Structure 1
């Protein structure tokens, strides 16, 4: 019997204030052991956006970790999709509650895009217009759909992509973490191939970088940290009007010594 090699993820991330902003409202975080990765882009003015994004990152990761511990103690296993959805809703609850309790944080919110390894699959969730891309065999494909006014109008055939690109409504999003009591997240899943790469990023990059630009930067032999910095530089050279955050993931084989040994006592 042939045993399929186990996969894990190498990763790197970088964030930059950009060329014109006074503070960085993007946040990112991860739990490498649980293979959970997240990028958030806050909004709300002053420091509120920075608070919202950081709060959402922490709440998502802490909720996901708590569910993992509960699964170990109870033996009841939720699917990765169920765990991600629950954790996204918990992030929404935490940010919403803070917004309502603190007048200085009123109306704050954040986008969110996250990814989690599930054996030979990856599951991706998003709210807002932060995006996930897959780079496979030199081709970059957008996985997520933007929850933004312009993108939804393009999908409905109301305007063209060129009209959207020229619009001054680039920042109008239709869903966000923390702006309402309930939030609707999208989930996507993909079967993995060795050396697949995934990019989680805020719109500070995607308003300047097309999929072919991302594919060019994400060459197979490039270091992930170099790819992140190259993409940030790309955005800044073209204006860098917003904060820019990039998190790159690469699918690799789990080293044999790191794979779980069989339980001979069972």
Structure 2
């Protein structure tokens, strides 16, 4: 697989509270993570960094290759980082109430395990079509699902940024998990809402399906989100599934 990622502060924020990382375990299994922190001062930065570093660094020491085992491991680790973030926020008044979203993708052969909490998203681009794979854990999305507001109304709703699930809260958290079948030449996109609040799925899909290098696609997505307003931090992690000489998935990682 080919991987490119970038994170950008945007045009309106003074600091970047997003964190992104790609980690490989002892069995060669790739785990990609995007987290979007929330909280005043430096709290959001801290929360997203704790989540990504805490999960990613431990992942590198594992030998897991079975998707069901990875799913259980990832669920436990996200819960552990939830507890760490909550405890840290209670210890430090400047960090009180901090939290983060998380979207994680692990790749085994021709399948992907997704786990997420919050409104950072995962997309699949297959056969030139883009499909959102995650369900936003937001108040506005719940209002859309219950029919109280339309999708169009949700785009500019004043409570759009209110989450109903996040990492960094007391007690047990609910983590969505799913396994997706993949094919050669598919693209997987993980991103923070700084991208999806600025660009439509159609626009995102057009850039990903364009004839340009992977790095340029990531750069273009961030540039276009900034041109559209750049009201939040923007993180884009784009993966293309490729074939190596033996017919398996090739890992060719980069990013900045």
Equivalent position to 1:45, from 32, 40, 54: 40
1:202 aligns with 2:196: no
Give the superposition deviation at 1:215.
1.1
Equivalent position to 2:103, from 113, 122, 134: 113
CA contact (8 A) 1:64 1:87 kept: no
Query: Which residue is equivalent to 1:166?
Result: 156
The 2-side partners of 1:137 and 1:29 are apart by 27
1:203-257 Cα deviation digits (max 9, x unpaired): 0010122221111100264322111111111111111100000000111123439
The 1-side partners of 2:92 and 2:148 are apart by 39
Query: Which residue is equivalent to 2:181?
Result: 191
1:70-118 Cα deviation digits (max 9, x unpaired): x69xxx9962221221221122122122112222111000001110002
Mind listing any 5+ residue stretches in structure 2 that lack a counterpart? 250-256
The 1-side partners of 2:196 and 2:119 are apart by 9
Q: From the CA coordinates, give the structure whose radius of gyration is larger.
A: 1
Query: Which residue is equivalent to 2:254?
Result: none
CA contact (8 A) 1:117 1:123 kept: yes
What's the TM-score, normalizing by structure 1?
A: 0.87
Give the superposition deviation at 1:170.
1.6
The 2-side partners of 1:258 and 1:110 are apart by 34
The 2-side partners of 1:116 and 1:138 are apart by 23
- What SS does the aligned partner of 1:13 have? strand
Query: Which residue is equivalent to 2:252?
Result: none
Give the superposition deviation at 1:63.
3.5
CA contact (8 A) 2:124 2:186 kept: yes
What's the TM-score, normalizing by structure 2?
A: 0.90
Mind listing any 5+ residue stretches in structure 1 that lack a counterpart? 1-8, 260-266
The 1-side partners of 2:245 and 2:45 are apart by 37
The 2-side partners of 1:155 and 1:107 are apart by 28
CA contact (8 A) 2:23 2:57 kept: no
- Matches for 1:1-266 after TM superposition, within 5 Å: 9-32=1-24, 33-66=28-61, 68-69=62-63, 79-219=69-209, 221-256=211-246
CA distance 1:132–1:257, shift in 2 (3 Å): closer
CA contact (8 A) 1:11 1:248 kept: yes
**TM-align CA RMSD:** 2.0
The 2-side partners of 1:228 and 1:98 are apart by 33
Q: Structure 1 segments of 4 or more deviating over 6 A? A: none
The 1-side partners of 2:248 and 2:116 are apart by 30
CA distance 1:87–1:63, shift in 2 (3 Å): farther
Equivalences, count:
246
